[in-house]
Amino acid sequence: MSSIFPGAARSPAPGVPKMKKPKSLISTWPPKDAAAARWATDGNFWTHARAVGRQNPWDLIIFNFQTQDPLEVNWYLQNAVGCWRLDPSGNFKFDSSLTADGKDGIIYVPSSSWVPPAHFSKGSGAATFMAGVNNSAATILRDLSRRMPTISHGATTMRAQDYRKIAELIETNAITIDVDPDLGGRGGYLDDEKAIKLRFMPRIGNARHASTLANEAVHAATHFYEIPHNMLKNEYVSTVAGAVAMGVTSERVLQRYINPRHFKNWGYYYSGWVWLNDFKPRGGWSITLDDLDHQFEHPYLSTTANPVSELRVSMAGSYGWKGKVEIIPEWD
């Protein structure tokens, strides 16, 4: 049956793909009743879904491959679509070279009325799908509201209850969550859209996801409360919040990110380790950057380190220009 698939013109590269051959292969390719075909030469299932008016990328995946197993999706991307280029996670990417490979290089789009069969839990209408995204983000923030200290610098103060407030604004759609795997960074907040942008589907218990959401929640709270602020000082608070959130979610993950041998910009996260191992045991549930501006033990260095100095060094290249920008946000 696999002979119906054209396969890829090149071996997977770079690295080894994460995939498995489905036990029961689809019987037809291309899929029956496709309304249109699209070149898989750029973007991803997210961007192609949006281009045809769908917000759930799994609708296109399920229509094409009749599976919601990511490992099986990768098998079909190689064997049916002809993908060969891998991303750092071992997943196949759409790529412009597919047009020159002499292989298929095409994915298919269902009619606008098509919905995935009910047994596919990941396929859904846009409202159900986005409700799940919002619920995950709000749940992560509500959990942080019970575990985070107050963090202050300049005019910006982020209290534990502020994470809960942002969760409420997400749940009432006053703030939207927009997932875009092609986002330049891991996250962002746009005042004019009242939107938190994420490069990932938020997953409860994931320390990196909690870190990014805590970071963007600071910007969202500053906007909601209309706090005039210096952009760089605001970024310092949001970055420390992200570091602490990573640590309270998983100290093991935080330790990996503060290890200079594993992560070049470990200064982004060292403040989280200092709060977790120095301030919290002493009952320090309210900290300022002045409190952190001292030498502390570092678990992977033979000398002490200053979390504020390391934070400034790590952020200087990308954020230094914000030190001259003053913002007066308006919510409505």
Are residues 34 and 65 both part of a single domain?
A: yes
- State which of 124, 152, 185 marks the end of a domain: 124
Question: What pLDDT score was predicted for residue 102?
Answer: 62
Are residues 74 and 143 both part of a single domain?
A: no
- State which of 124, 159, 190 marks the end of a domain: 124
Are residues 91 and 159 both part of a single domain?
A: no
Kindly state whether residue 332 falls inside one of the protein's structural domains.
no
Are residues 195 and 318 both part of a single domain?
A: yes
Residues 197 and 190 sit within 8 Å (Cβ to Cβ): yes
Are residues 190 and 254 both part of a single domain?
A: yes
Nearest to residue 210, comparing CAs of 165, 172, 163, 169?
163
Kindly state whether residue 322 falls inside one of the protein's structural domains.
yes
SS3 per-residue string spanning the chain: CHHHCCCCCCCCECCCCCCCCCCCCCCCCCCCCCCEEEECCCCCHHHHHHHCCCCCHHHHHHHHHCCCCHHHHHHHHHHHHCCCEECCCCCECCCHHHHHCCCCCEEEECCCCCCCCCCCCCCCCHHHHHHHHHHHHHHHHHHHCCCCCEEEECCEEECHHHHHHHHHHHHCCCCEEEECCCCCCCEEEECCCCEEEECCCCCCCCHHHHHHHHHHHHHHHHHHCCCCEEHHHHHHHHHHHHHHHHHHHCHHHHHHHCCCCCCCCHHHCHHHHHHHHHHHHHCCCEEEHHHHCCCECCCCCCCCECHHHHHHHHHHHHHHHHHHCEECCCCC
Are residues 184 and 322 both part of a single domain?
A: yes
Kindly state whether residue 6 falls inside one of the protein's structural domains.
yes
When divided into structural domains, the chain yields a total of 2
Are residues 295 and 206 both part of a single domain?
A: yes
Q: Minimum mean pLDDT among 121-125, 130-134, 205-209, 244-248: which range? A: 121-125
Q: Rounded to an integer, what distance in angstroms lies between the CA atom of residue 294 and that of residue 306?
A: 5
Kindly state whether residue 72 falls inside one of the protein's structural domains.
yes
Kindly state whether residue 323 falls inside one of the protein's structural domains.
yes
Domain of 317, in residue numbers: 127-327
Are residues 68 and 178 both part of a single domain?
A: no
| Best mean pLDDT range from 1-5, 25-29, 271-275 | 271-275
Are residues 199 and 156 both part of a single domain?
A: yes
The pTM is what? 0.72
Are residues 97 and 199 both part of a single domain?
A: no
pLDDT tens digits for range 64-123? 999 989 999 999 999 999 999 998 889 999 988 887 666 678 999 999 999 888 777 777
Question: Distances in Å between the alpha carbon of 18 and those of 93, 181, 264?
Answer: 12, 18, 27
Q: Rounded to an integer, what distance in angstroms lies between the CA atom of residue 124 and that of residue 33?
A: 19
Q: Which residues does 118 contact at the CB level (< 8 Å), separation at least 6? A: none
Are residues 132 and 107 both part of a single domain?
A: no
Q: Rounded to an integer, what distance in angstroms lies between the CA atom of residue 74 and that of residue 93?
A: 9
- State which of 90, 124, 158 marks the end of a domain: 124
Are residues 199 and 68 both part of a single domain?
A: no
Which tops the pLDDT comparison, 260 or 4? 260
pLDDT tens digits for range 157-167? 999 999 999 99
Kindly state whether residue 47 falls inside one of the protein's structural domains.
yes
